[in-house]
């Protein structure tokens, strides 16, 4: 869920490196963002079935829930176009969705310049980690 690589550790220090009040504000903001993302995922999943929320942090209103059928349609197009990179990526996303679809974990995808990042968000675990980071337990 949270990658504590060097970049993530630096980001954690940047977000939670202030005083106690600043850390509480940062934790509140993170909880709000994660709450909104997971709420969007579960609302869409309830209506459309298993899938993934493709979240656009630059323009959240352009975020889109893709049901398995949508992913499979895009997979067919990628295969017809012989785009192996896109084909492989979509196969991996479908595999994750199929594996995690019965759990209480939100499946969130974020498009990056070099591919796609899949995040599995367990709300309780996320809240625990935010508490640890905002208390200075992870640096």
pLDDT per residue as tens digits for the range 91-131:
999 999 999 988 889 999 987 777 788 989 888 887 787 77
CA distances from 32 to 3, 29, 63, 88, 132 (A): 20, 5, 17, 33, 17
pTM of this structure: 0.76
Tell me the pairing of strands 106-112 and 115-121. antiparallel
Whether residue 119 contacts residue 108, with contact meaning beta carbons closer than 8 Å, is answered with yes
Distance from CA of residue 66 to its chain's centroid?
13
């Amino acid at each position: 869920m949270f990658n504590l690589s060097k970049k993530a550790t630096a980001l954690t220090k940047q977000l939670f490196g202030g005083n106690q009040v600043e850390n509480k504000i940062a934790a509140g903001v993170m909880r709000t963002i994660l709450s909104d993302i997971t709420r969007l995922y579960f609302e869409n999943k309830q209506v459309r079935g298993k899938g993934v929320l493709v979240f656009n942090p630059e323009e959240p209103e352009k975020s889109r829930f893709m049901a398995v059928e949508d992913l499979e349609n895009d997979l067919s197009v990628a295969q017809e176009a012989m785009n192996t990179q896109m084909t492989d990526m979509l196969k991996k996303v479908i595999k994750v969705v199929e594996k995690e679809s019965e759990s209480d974990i939100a499946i969130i995808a974020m498009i990056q310049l070099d591919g796609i990042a899949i995040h599995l968000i367990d709300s309780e675990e996320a809240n625990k980690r935010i508490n640890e980071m905002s208390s200075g337990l992870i640096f």
